[in-house]
Amino acid sequence: MAVDSQRLYREANILYWAMALLDLTYDYVDQCVANAKESPPFAIPRLRFVEAGLLIAHSYNDRAESTRSYGAKSGMIGMTYLTEEIIDGAFVKFIHNGNASPRWLSDPAANKVAEFLAFTQHVQYIKTGKQVYISDYQGSTKLLTDPQILTHPDVGAGMNLFGDGNVERGVELFEEQHNCSTNKYSRLSHTV
């Protein structure tokens, strides 16, 4: 497989894992809200990752000329694309890769989302036994894209599961960098 195709497969894989981790987080949050005596005194931001898919274009033409110019036989993969839903509105980086502190953003709505996403990292970190969380949160205040997944070095037994963006030290430094005391969303939960 061409290097570019491998990179896109990896990117799609990261996106699907991030979707699952964010679903897990919302399941947990919804359960906490359902079990609480009163509803929280703040709105819970609702975000999701973009729908995406790999588009694989096969060469359709077996004329000698095209075989020569593309170096591919008929039916072989020509190009791979990662297609994603379009994100409307301002594009924001909420949390950088490799640093689990939310960015301070001048837009109050974006700032709330950054704070909420920092809380989701906490839920993921605890729910996966301090092994995994989503990093590099970015997109709009509704739709996220292009995440990274940070894993503890034990995950994957030395195999590079999630590409170059997997800053393993990020997981080791999580408890140092993550600040719950200023995060109002952490009140959603008393068990993580």
Closest CA to 113 of 47, 180, 42, 27: 47
Displacement of CA 51 from its chain's centroid (Å): 12
- CB-nearer residue toward Zn ion: 65 or 176: 176
**Least Å from the CB of residue 159 to Zn ion:** 29
Q: Is 102 in the site for Zn ion (CB under 5 A)?
A: no
Minimum CB distance to Zn ion, residue 118 (Å): 7
User: Tokens 């430094």 label which residue?
Assistant: 173
Q: Judged by CB, which is closer to Zn ion: 122, or 152? A: 122
Reading the block at residue 7, the tokens are 């990179």
The answer to whether 57 contacts Zn ion (rule: CB under 5 A) is no
Site for Zn ion in 157-186 (CB under 5 A): 180, 186
Q: Count residues near Zn ion (CB under 5 A).
A: 3
Among residues 138 and 186, whose Cβ is nearest to Zn ion? 186
Q: How many whole angstroms separate alpha carbon 130 and alpha carbon 96?
A: 19
What is the closest distance, in whole angstroms, from the C-beta atom of residue 128 to Zn ion in the complex? 14
Q: Which residue has the tokens 């694309």?
A: 81
- Of the ranges 63-71, 76-84, 122-130, 163-171, which one interacts with Zn ion (CB under 5 A)? 122-130
Backbone angles phi, psi at 29, to 5 degrees: -60, -45
The answer to whether 122 contacts Zn ion (rule: CB under 5 A) is: yes
Maximum separation of any 2 CA atoms in the chain, in Å: 73
Q: How far is the CB of 158 from Zn ion (least distance, A)?
A: 29
Q: What kind and span of H or E run contains 54?
A: strand 52-58
Nearer to Zn ion, 97 or 186 (CB): 186
User: Can you say whether the dihedral through the CA atoms of 17, 18, 21, 26 is positive or negative?
Assistant: negative
Q: Note the residues at the interface with Zn ion (CB under 5 A).
A: 122, 180, 186
